[in-house]
Amino acid sequence: MKKTHILFASALTLMATGALAEDTFKFAMIDPFSGPAAMVTERIENVLRYSVDEVNAAGGINGQQIEILTFDNKMSAQETAIQAQKAIDAGARILQTSVSSSNTFALVDFVNKHNRRNPDDQVIVFDGASHDPAITGEKCSYYSFSWVLDADMKTAGLAHYLTERTDITKVYLLNAEGSSGQTTRQSVIEMVGEARPDIEWVGDDTHPLQKITDFTPYIAKIKASGAQAVITSDWGADLALVLKAAGEGGLEAEWFTYFSTGPGAPTAMAQSGLDGKVYSIFDGDAGIDSAELHAFEAGYREKTGQSASAFPGDTSAIRALTQAAQKAGSNEVHDLIAALEGIEFQTVYGAPAHSRADDHQIITQMAVSKFVDVPEGTLDEEGTGWGWENVAIVPADVITLPTTCEMKRP
C-alpha cells in the first residue's frame, strides 16, 4: 500500500511539474550554439536572459513567466527549419534568430508555411540582429518583427556622417560572402556614393564568411591601395581577426564598421593599438550619454562581466513584447501581433522607438562612435580599459527609409 501511495504521489508531482511548465510563455532562441559563431550566440543569450529576468521578477507578462528555450541551428538554414519545428513542438510561441540573415529568411519562410497550415497553433518570428533589409522589405511577413536597424538604415546614417568628413576621399570596401555582406556592400556604394560623389573606391574585396583565419593578405592590399578608410560589415570572428591583422600590419586607415561592438572585436582592437581608428555604425553603444543605459549596463556587467549594449535587439524585443502583452491583455499570438504593430517603447540607449506597422521594422536613432583608450571609471569593453566615445547621434528621421514591404495579412 505504501508503495502505491509513493507511486501515486510521484505521478501527481510529475503532473504538477508538467502543468507548471505549460504555464510559462515559451520563447525559443534558434541560433548557432556551436562553431565559430557560438561566441556571438552566447552573448545574445546572456542579454536576452537578463532582460527576461527583469520582466519575470516584475511578474512576467499577464501573469506568465517567460521561459527561454535554446536550439542549435549549426549556422545552417536547413537546420534552422528543423529546429523551428522542435521549438514549436516544445510549445514555443515566439521563435527568435539573430545570427546570419540566411537563417532568418529560412525561419520566416518556415513560420509562414506553418502558420498557414496550423491556424490554431501559430507562432511569431523575432529578428534579433540579422541586419538584412529584406527581412522587413521583400521578405516581410505579418508574423515577423525586426528589433534592430537594418543595413540600409545604418548606411544612411554613415552617409550622413561622412558628409562632414571631407578629409576622407579614398575608401576600401571589405565584406563577406552571403546576403547580409553583399547587401551592405551595395547599399554603401549607392548611398555613400550619392552623399559623397568625390569619394574614390580604391578597393572592393569579398571573402568567405567565418572561414578566414589570417587576414594579413587583405590588409596588405588595403595598405597598397592608399585607402584612408575601410567600410566593412564583417562581424564575429571575422571582424576580430581582420582588426587584429590591421593593427599588426600597421595600417593607418580608419575603419567604419557595423558590428565592432560585438564579442571579440574590442579585445582585438585594444591589443592592436587601434586607438580612435575604429568607428561603430550601429544602433548604439555604451558610450552614449544615458543614465538609463549606464544603470542597465552596470547591473548586467556586475552579473556577467560582459557588455549588453552591443545587442539591443534582445532588450528591445523583450520591452516591446512586455508592453504589447500589457496593451493586449492577452498572450495569444494574434492579440500580440496586433499590439506589437506600432508599439512604442524606449530602447536600452534611452531613445524613443516604435515598430512600424507597415513592415514591422524598428524605427529609432543610431549612433556613430569611435573606440578609444578611456579614462579610469568609464565604461570599458571586455576589461580592456578601452571603450566607446560617441561622436554623433543620427536622428531617426534621417535614417528612416521608405518601406518596400507588401505585407500579406490574414
Strand ranges across the sheet with 94-97? 66-72, 25-31, 94-97, 124-127, 144-146
Helix or strand or coil: residue 68?
strand
Q: Are residues 264 and 326 in the same domain?
A: no
CA dist 133 and 180 (Å) reads 8
Residue indicated by cell numbers 560589415 = 233
Q: Are residues 282 and 312 in the same domain?
A: no
**What integer pLDDT is reported at residue 181 of this predicted model?**
86
Q: Where are the beta strands (DSSP E) in 283-385?
A: 344-346, 352-355, 362-363, 366-373
* Angle (CA) 381 38 115, round 5°: 115
CA dist 369 and 391 (Å) reads 5
Q: Please indicate, yes or no, if residue 406 is contained in any of the structural domains.
A: no
**What integer pLDDT is reported at residue 130 of this predicted model?**
82
CA dist 183 and 130 (Å) reads 12
**What integer pLDDT is reported at residue 60 of this predicted model?**
98
Q: What is the CA radius of gyration of the chain?
A: 22
Q: Please indicate, yes or no, if residue 408 is contained in any of the structural domains.
A: no
Q: Please indicate, yes or no, if residue 89 is contained in any of the structural domains.
A: yes
Q: Are residues 353 and 380 in the same domain?
A: no
CB atoms within 10 A of CB 387: 22
CA dist 301 and 283 (Å) reads 20
**What integer pLDDT is reported at residue 293 of this predicted model?**
94
Q: Are residues 183 and 145 in the same domain?
A: no
Q: Please indicate, yes or no, if residue 94 is contained in any of the structural domains.
A: yes
Q: Are residues 199 and 333 in the same domain?
A: no
Q: Please indicate, yes or no, if residue 103 is contained in any of the structural domains.
A: yes
Q: Which residues, at least 6 apart from 4, have a Cβ–Cβ distance to it below 8 Å?
A: none
Contact 124, 355 (CB under 8 A): no
Per-residue pLDDT of the chain (410 residues; tens, 9 = 90+): 444 444 444 444 444 334 344 699 999 999 999 998 898 899 999 999 999 999 999 999 999 999 999 999 999 999 999 999 999 999 999 999 998 888 999 999 999 999 999 999 999 999 998 888 999 999 999 999 999 999 999 999 999 999 999 999 999 999 999 877 888 999 999 999 999 999 999 999 999 998 999 999 999 999 999 999 999 999 888 999 999 999 999 999 999 999 899 888 899 889 989 999 999 999 999 999 999 999 999 999 999 988 898 899 999 999 999 999 999 999 999 999 999 999 999 999 999 999 999 999 999 999 999 999 999 888 999 999 999 999 999 999 999 999 999 999 99
CA dist 69 and 87 (Å) reads 8
Q: Please indicate, yes or no, if residue 407 is contained in any of the structural domains.
A: no
Q: Are residues 250 and 116 in the same domain?
A: no
What's the structural domain count of the chain? 2
Contact 43, 310 (CB under 8 A): yes
**Which pTM value belongs to this model?**
0.89
Q: Are residues 284 and 300 in the same domain?
A: no
Residue indicated by cell numbers 510521484 = 10
DSSP string over 29-63: EEE--SSTTHHHHHHHHHHHHHHHHHHHHTT-BTT
* Distances from the Cα of 337 to the Cα of 107, 186, 259, 403, angstroms: 17, 32, 29, 19
Residue indicated by cell numbers 548606411 = 155
Which is nearest to 232 in space by CA: 195, 274, 180?
180
Q: Are residues 231 and 380 in the same domain?
A: yes
CA dist 261 and 353 (Å) reads 21
3-class SS shares of the chain: helix, strand, coil, % to 5 = 45, 20, 35
Tens digits of per-residue pLDDT, 337-359? 999 999 999 999 999 999 999 99
Q: Are residues 25 and 136 in the same domain?
A: yes
Tens digits of per-residue pLDDT, 92-138? 999 999 988 889 999 999 999 999 999 999 999 999 988 889 999 99
Helix or strand or coil: residue 209?
coil
* CATH at residue 239: 3.40.50.2300
Q: Please indicate, yes or no, if residue 409 is contained in any of the structural domains.
A: no
Contact 127, 135 (CB under 8 A): yes
Q: Please indicate, yes or no, if residue 58 is contained in any of the structural domains.
A: yes
C-alpha cell at 78: 536547413
**What integer pLDDT is reported at residue 99 of this predicted model?**
87
Contact 236, 36 (CB under 8 A): yes
Q: Which domain holds residue 34?
A: 2-149+294-363
Q: Are residues 209 and 157 in the same domain?
A: yes
CA 184, chain centre distance (Å): 15
Q: Are residues 132 and 162 in the same domain?
A: no
* Angle (CA) 175 178 182, round 5°: 50
Q: Are residues 75 and 211 in the same domain?
A: no
Helix or strand or coil: residue 371?
strand
